[in-house]
């Protein structure tokens, strides 16, 4: 995992590309370099060495002729199998997956991405045709942002790298309004900044002669339809288990230490159980966070599973005293609003792993969306928050100025399936939960120069799960039914039948007590900022007083204020 950055245009860009690279140093502290095609392009790369640690694998990486130059972030896990196929016509000089990706591009062109199983965002510059090709993996695990201006085309792994050379970037008012009014973090191509866009997962782009063309290359809906053949539960279970074991095995390919992040859910329990079957299981470290509040901590479930596997466990304590300082650090790395204190607590896990020399971590992201694990999937509610009371809204539109509220527009998402359940899953997978969770997790892992891998987001697993009938997802009152049946082979009922817990930290309590000064500061700075006219000052103070006095069904609006203030400070 690394950081990429680039500029296509005729500006003199040596100093600017160096600034972009420096801004992303945390993404790749092992090596950095730039490539210049004078008057046409500048490419930069920060390397976090994971596979083939030798200098020969450094980037920017050129093909043997020097015509094509590539910068690449991520891992293509099936690189060994691809290398074997490609070696008939290409002489490899390294053992890294980077060279395999470029060799595949030389053979297949833009269609190479359909051969990849992994997480990636990469760009290839053709020095002869003066053309850029860039692509992002199917679900957008690895980020890619861009900005097209009159003086050229900018792109990078993080927004801050583009802002480093475009000093006048301001907020995208519609996206900010939708965040406050509807809890939206933007559509897949949007960011919170005017003129800076995200290339959606499963898309690729070409840029030539100042013209930008974006194409969707991952046809998820048709692939799911092709797999929608009725099969017995046991048959699907065994097929899914085989794919999952293969997915985990692929994601252990590394020349550095690999560990796992776990919680008390069935997803983490299943991951831990299958990892424990590996020959090197005794050397694999597990990490989990806790806050010391028994109402929220998942340690009892984690420790119950660890007792069976005997996996070395690092328990990472996160306290209210750490929130203020940690919030500033993580806000810098996120660039956009993020998910609150659970994200901060999870970030500390990566800090602990790095301190112990673990450079790669696996986690259980993606199971709830693939197997319909959230409670609102199985109701008529349009709710998108697990555990939220259907009668209450976490969004305090009364705190917004009427003109600012009028800018907002509730997002409408595609509904490509006949099934309401599948459409909700599709929304969460490509438009809401997964895109934002992947963004949160990419930034917190990279903040500590660690790589996070998502075995449950192997596209073969997601497509297979999506294609299954509702009864395999919800049965006998249990969500993610097939997964629970699968987990029964490894764990007892206290784990396999455990309900999904919507909250993992005492965010509501902390914000209303020990973290009051953090919220007071946020309100003061927002209401004295150039954006104060977006808000209803009286309503904000009223809501805050009610919250302090115990009206704490939801803390989302309070965290929004803290989050937005952090964005404001980044613009100053």
Half-sphere exposure of residue 33: CA atoms within 13 angstroms, side-chain side:
17
Sequence-distant (≥ 6) Cβ neighbours of residue 340 within 8 angstroms: 505, 507, 555, 556, 559, 563
Gap between the Cα atoms of 555 and 119, Å rounded: 33
Gap between the Cα atoms of 221 and 216, Å rounded: 12
Q: What is the DSSP string of 375-408?
A: GGGGSS----STT--TT--S--GGGB-HHHHHH-
- Residue of 203, 141, 183 lying closest to 452 (CA atoms): 141
Q: What is the 3-state secondary structure (H, E, C) of 106-130?
A: HHHHHHHHHHCCEEEEEEEEECCCC
Is the peptide bond prior to 60 cis by the omega test (within 30 degrees of 0)?
Answer: yes
Check the CA dihedral 124-125-131-134 and report its sign: positive
Gap between the Cα atoms of 249 and 450, Å rounded: 19
Q: What is the DSSP letter of 60?
A: S
Gap between the Cα atoms of 55 and 507, Å rounded: 45
Q: Is 204 a catalytic residue?
A: no
Gap between the Cα atoms of 124 and 133, Å rounded: 5
Is 151 exposed, middle or buried (CB count within 10 Å of its CB: 0-12, 13-18, 19+)?
exposed
Strand ranges (DSSP E) for 273-396? 286-290, 313-317, 360-362
- Residue of 407, 440, 432 lying closest to 176 (CA atoms): 407
Q: Characterize 22-57 residue by residue with b for buried, 16 or more Cβ atoms within 10 angstroms of its Cβ, and e for exposed.
A: ebbebbbeeebebbbeeebbbbbbbbbbbbbeeeeb
CA dist list (Å): 442 to 1, 53, 305, 330, 451:
10, 22, 27, 11, 8
| Catalytic member of 2, 96, 112, 399 | 2
Gap between the Cα atoms of 560 and 307, Å rounded: 39
Beta bridge pairs of residue 317? 290
Phi first, then psi: give them for residue 320, nearest 5 degrees.
-60, -30
Gap between the Cα atoms of 185 and 178, Å rounded: 8
Q: Is 99 helix (H, G, I), strand (E, B) or coil?
A: helix
CA dist list (Å): 79 to 31, 83, 276, 362:
22, 6, 24, 18
Catalytic site positions: 2
């Amino acid at each position: 995992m690394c950081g990429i950055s680039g500029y296509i245009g005729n500006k003199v860009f040596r100093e600017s590309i160096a600034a972009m690279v420096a801004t992303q140093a945390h993404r790749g502290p092992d090596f950095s370099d730039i490539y210049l095609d004078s008057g046409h392009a500048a490419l930069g790369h920060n390397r976090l060495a994971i596979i083939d640690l030798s200098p020969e694998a450094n980037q920017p990486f050129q093909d043997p002729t020097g015509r094509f130059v590539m910068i690449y972030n991520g891992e293509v896990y099936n690189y060994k199998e691809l290398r074997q196929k490609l070696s008939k016509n290409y002489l490899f000089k390294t053992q890294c997956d980077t060279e395999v990706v470029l060799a595949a591009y030389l053979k297949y062109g833009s269609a190479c991405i359909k051969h990849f199983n992994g997480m990636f965002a990469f760009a290839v510059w053709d020095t002869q045709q003066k053309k850029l090709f860039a692509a992002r993996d199917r679900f957008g695990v690895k980020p890619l942002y861009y900005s097209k201006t009159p003086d050229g085309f900018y792109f990078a792994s993080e927004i801050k790298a583009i802002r480093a050379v475009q000093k006048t970037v301001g907020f995208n008012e519609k996206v900010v309004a939708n965040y406050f009014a509807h809890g939206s973090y933007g559509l897949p191509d949007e960011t919170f900044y005017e003129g800076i866009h995200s290339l959606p997962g499963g898309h690729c782009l070409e840029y030539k002669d100042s013209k930008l063309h974006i194409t969707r290359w991952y046809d998820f809906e048709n692939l799911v339809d092709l797999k929608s053949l009725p099969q017995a539960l046991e048959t699907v279970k065994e097929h899914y288990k085989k794919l999952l074991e293969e997915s985990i095995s692929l994601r252990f390919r590394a020349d550095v230490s690999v560990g796992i992040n776990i919680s008390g859910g069935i997803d983490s329990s299943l991951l831990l159980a299958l990892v424990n079957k590996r020959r090197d299981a005794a050397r694999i470290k597990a990490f989990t966070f806790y806050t010391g509040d028994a109402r929220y901590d998942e340690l009892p479930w984690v420790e119950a599973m660890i007792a069976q596997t005997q996996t070395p466990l690092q328990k990472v304590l996160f306290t209210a005293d750490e929130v203020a300082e940690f919030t500033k650090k993580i806000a810098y790395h996120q660039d956009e609003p993020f998910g609150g204190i659970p994200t901060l607590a999870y970030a500390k896990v990566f800090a602990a792993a790095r301190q112990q020399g673990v450079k790669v971590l696996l986690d259980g992201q993606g199971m709830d969306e693939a197997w319909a694990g959230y409670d609102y999937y199985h109701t008529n509610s349009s709710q998108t928050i697990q555990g939220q009371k259907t009668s209450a809204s976490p969004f305090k539109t009364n705190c917004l100025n009427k003109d600012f509220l009028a800018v907002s527009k509730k997002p409408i998402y595609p509904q490509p399936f006949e099934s309401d359940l599948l459409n909700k899953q599709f929304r969460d997978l490509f438009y809401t939960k997964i895109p934002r969770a992947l963004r949160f997790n990419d930034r917190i892992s990279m903040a500590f120069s660690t790589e996070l891998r998502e075995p449950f987001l192997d596209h073969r697993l997601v497509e297979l799960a999506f294609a299954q009938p509702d009864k395999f997802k919800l049965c006998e009152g249990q969500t993610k039914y097939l997964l629970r049946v699968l987990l029964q082979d490894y764990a007892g009922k206290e784990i396999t039948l455990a309900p999904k817990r919507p909250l993992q930290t005492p965010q509501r309590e902390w914000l209303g007590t020990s973290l009051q000064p953090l919220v007071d500061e946020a309100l003061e700075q927002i209401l004295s900022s150039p954006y104060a006219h977006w808000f209803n000052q009286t309503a904000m103070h009223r809501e805050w007083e009610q919250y302090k006095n115990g009206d704490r069904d939801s803390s989302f609006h309070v965290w929004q204020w803290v989050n937005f203030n952090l964005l404001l400070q980044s613009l100053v």
